[in-house]
Chain A
Amino acid sequence: MELHHDAVIYMDNNATTRIAPEVLEAMMPFLADYYGNPSSMHTFGGQVGQAVERARTQVANLLGAEPGEITFTSCGTESDSTAILSALQTFPEKRHIVTTRVEHPAVKNLCENLDRLTGHKHRVTRLKVDAEGMLDLDEYEEALTEDTAIVSVMWANNETGVIFPIARMAKMARERGILFHTDAVQAVGKVPISLRDLDVDFLSLSGHKLHAPKGVGVLYVRRGTMFVPFLTGGHQEKGRRGGTENVASIIALGKACDLAAERMEDENTRVRALRDKLEAGLLATVPRSMRNGHKTERLPNTSNVSFEFVEGEAILLHMNRHNICASSGSACTSGSLEPSHVLRAMGVPFTAAHGSIRFSLSSYNTEAEVDFVLAKMPGIIESLRQMSPFWKGN
């Protein structure tokens, strides 16, 4: 199989990120030389255990948490499932969950299958979003009841980058004795997080979204929060998650968290400026284009733009010709026949939902890349519109 990586303009960082060279360097010894089991009695294994603990501290530092509150998992999805199912088992008499209409499938599909997974009937409230992708906190407050076991609301949306008011929402849940989980897979490393100042009980993150490898995640569990493991087995992770640790990736994630802390400012200044330049340029040069998602309450790296009357997959494949990588919320790219549930929840009309493109940047992007994309996009959209039976000119 022929593989390509040269000169790729990678603007799909909400899908996955490149492993930072520093991260790769940190993890390599644990793939090559230090292969001992962290649980072993001998020094050869034990030293690996110490490295895992150091990584735990690095993760805790980025989140403003204690190392004891960090459990390593295999991915964001596992963390989400663990948190929600743990809460339901902690409060078996409570049969209500509050979530949103724009969650990642890791939470959305779990909530749709709870009855089958738990053997009990559950009521799920899916909070609406407005045209800019924002929640209505009055609706949220009304949704919280004595029967509510857990609230699960993403910190930032993967498709639009819209950020939810997690601090306030977690506080409102805590005041009513309801557990609060946030899928922060897209937020960690992009916005500052200090869990010791928040009322969040569970938080999920995924390594490969912040320049660590795929296959490692974290579940933060606030100290004192009742917890029921998802994977029961050995005593790894203090019995919170059975299964031998994915050591090299855990070391990598620790290093990636250090880097993320260092780059947080760059992400929120330079990367944000690049994103803003890209977005403003697209909206100015392509007629009938629009931003999806709130302009300011948003991750600094994400821009979701709809180009009306053209279809996302066709746009992506034309971009692919120029080695530009991005994503689309169109039906054809998802493998289903429907466009993105996030854009539909926001009320984005079909004319625009099928033609949405998500650009997600990272600190590795440059202004030259943004300029290149800006030079190519108007022509791509124009050529597809010339072909579209719905395009009647500007």
Chain B
Amino acid sequence: MWEYTDLVKEHFLNPRNVGEVEQADGTGDVGSLACGDALKLTIKVDDQGIITDAKFKTFGCASAIASSSALTEMVKGMSLDEASKITNEDIADYLGGLPKEKMHCSVMGREALEAAIADYRGMTLPTAEGEIVCECFGVTDLEIIRAINESNLRSVEEITNFTKAGGGCGKCEDKLREILQRTVEGKLEWIKPMEKPKRMTTLQKIKKIEDVLEREIRPGLRKDGGDIELIDVDGDFVSVSLRGACKSCAKSQTTIKEYVEKKLRELVLDTLIVEEN
């Protein structure tokens, strides 16, 4: 069982500001079902640039819900400039701290806030433009560098705790170490050596695949009364299940190979092999 502070428990059991602001001025949508946590933050901003209301909807564990609740309490009444200075550490501190393995929940809060502010200002987030390093959870190098600098991270394990990067298949570990070394160069004396053996599991690429399914593939299938579900990703093998009208369609194999696989190869990775579960 996790060691949660009383404040985390309190915010989890009695979350503040659940829901969606009506006619929101800014919306921040981060995370996904596949990743196990997601947060939708909506804010209302007045003429002076003050956040007058903030609400959240969160899918996730206790610390994700508590972080979201804390975040909405913190930003209400703040100017956008003040709010944009909030770090994930501030959110964790507000709750009296989070278990280190759960710091990514506070990072999710900060990301949602940034996304909502950017949405209000009609801007694109610079971190979203970085290069994806962790394919399992879709984390970019810019997000990782930022977390290293802001939270003073000194090991790959810490990067995983804060950003989730490296927490799936573990294949990006070398890359994370390299980014860490590059980022902290000249700032510190030593870097902790690798602590854990490499984990070879399956969440790799899931987020990107989910995104492509949602944006590119589902709308087409739904038009025909069908749907598709991502079941598992194991190395290059992507296992999916067709639903609805697609399930009984004689062309389902063609759909999978010619349509789904082709799209995923084009937009995610050209070595992927899509199979029906």
A389 touches B61 (CB 8 A): no
Asked if A314 meets B65 with Cβ closer than 8 Å, knowing A347-B277, A386-B18, the reply is: yes
Asked if A344 meets B60 with Cβ closer than 8 Å, knowing A321-B13, A330-B36, the reply is: no
C-alpha gap A341/B164 in the complex (Å): 19
Chain A residues near B136: list those with CB within 8 A: 337
A347 touches B36 (CB 8 A): no
A349 touches B60 (CB 8 A): no
A350 touches B202 (CB 8 A): no
B36 touches A344 (CB 8 A): no
Interface string of B218-235 (1 = CB under 8 A from A): 000000000001111000
Interface stretch (choices B37-45, B74-82, B144-152, B247-255): B37-45
Q: Which residues in window 1-33 of B have CB below 8 A to A?
A: 2, 9, 12-13, 15, 18, 29, 33
Query: Which residue from B15, B33, B202 sits with its C-beta under 8 Å from A354?
Result: B33
A351 touches B33 (CB 8 A): yes
C-alpha gap A285/B101 in the complex (Å): 34
**What is the CB-to-nearest-CB distance from B4 to chain A, in angstroms, rounded to a whole number?**
8
B232 touches A347 (CB 8 A): yes
B39 touches A354 (CB 8 A): no
B18 touches A337 (CB 8 A): no
Interface string of B37-65 (1 = CB under 8 A from A): 11110000000000000000111111011
Chain B interface main SS type: mixed
Q: Does B84 contact A (CB under 8 A)?
A: no
B59 touches A390 (CB 8 A): yes
**What is the CB-to-nearest-CB distance from A136 to chain B, in angstroms, rounded to a whole number?**
13
Chain A residue at minimal CB-CB distance from B240:
A347
Asked if A314 meets B277 with Cβ closer than 8 Å, knowing A332-B61, A350-B34, the reply is: no
C-alpha gap A338/B204 in the complex (Å): 10
Query: Which residue from A318, A341, A349, A354 sits with its C-beta under 8 Å from B36?
Result: A354
Chain A residue at minimal CB-CB distance from B41:
A389
Q: Does B260 contact A (CB under 8 A)?
A: no
Q: Does A336 contact B (CB under 8 A)?
A: yes
**What is the CB-to-nearest-CB distance from B117 to chain A, in angstroms, rounded to a whole number?**
18
Chain B interface residue bracket vs A: 35 or more
Chain A contact residue count (CB 8 A cutoff): 32
B59 touches A388 (CB 8 A): yes
Chain A residue at minimal CB-CB distance from B68:
A387
Asked if A311 meets B59 with Cβ closer than 8 Å, knowing A337-B137, A338-B203, the reply is: yes
Chain B residues near A331: list those with CB within 8 A: 36
Chain B residue at minimal CB-CB distance from A387:
B18
Query: Which residue from B15, B164, B167 sits with its C-beta under 8 Å from A387?
Result: B15
C-alpha gap A380/B211 in the complex (Å): 30
A390 touches B38 (CB 8 A): yes
Chain B residue at minimal CB-CB distance from A349:
B229
Q: Does A119 contact B (CB under 8 A)?
A: no
**What is the CB-to-nearest-CB distance from A333 to chain B, in angstroms, rounded to a whole number?**
8
Chain A residue at minimal CB-CB distance from B35:
A337
C-alpha gap A40/B58 in the complex (Å): 63
C-alpha gap A217/B34 in the complex (Å): 37
Asked if A339 meets B59 with Cβ closer than 8 Å, knowing A344-B202, A347-B231, A347-B232, the reply is: no
Q: Does B239 contact A (CB under 8 A)?
A: yes
Chain A residue at minimal CB-CB distance from B13:
A321
C-alpha gap A318/B34 in the complex (Å): 22
Interface string of B98-129 (1 = CB under 8 A from A): 00010000000000000000000000000000
A337 touches B167 (CB 8 A): yes
A350 touches B230 (CB 8 A): yes
- Which of B29, B36, B277: most chain A CB closer than 10 A? B36
C-alpha gap A344/B168 in the complex (Å): 14
A339 touches B101 (CB 8 A): no
B40 touches A389 (CB 8 A): yes
Chain B residue at minimal CB-CB distance from A318:
B13
Q: Does A8 contact B (CB under 8 A)?
A: no
Interface string of A89-117 (1 = CB under 8 A from B): 00000000000000000000000100000
Q: Does A140 contact B (CB under 8 A)?
A: no
Interface string of A348-380 (1 = CB under 8 A from B): 011100100000000000000000000000000
C-alpha gap A311/B9 in the complex (Å): 16
C-alpha gap A9/B61 in the complex (Å): 22
Task: Report A's interface with B, CB cutoff 8 A.
Answer: 112, 309-314, 317-318, 321, 330-333, 335-339, 341, 344-345, 347, 349-351, 354, 386-390
A-B contact pairs, 13 of them (CB 8 A): A311-B37, A313-B62, A317-B9, A332-B36, A338-B202, A341-B201, A347-B231, A349-B241, A350-B33, A350-B34, A354-B33, A389-B29, A389-B59
Nearest first, the 5 A-B pairs at minimum CB distance are A332-B61, A337-B167, A313-B61, A389-B57, A389-B40
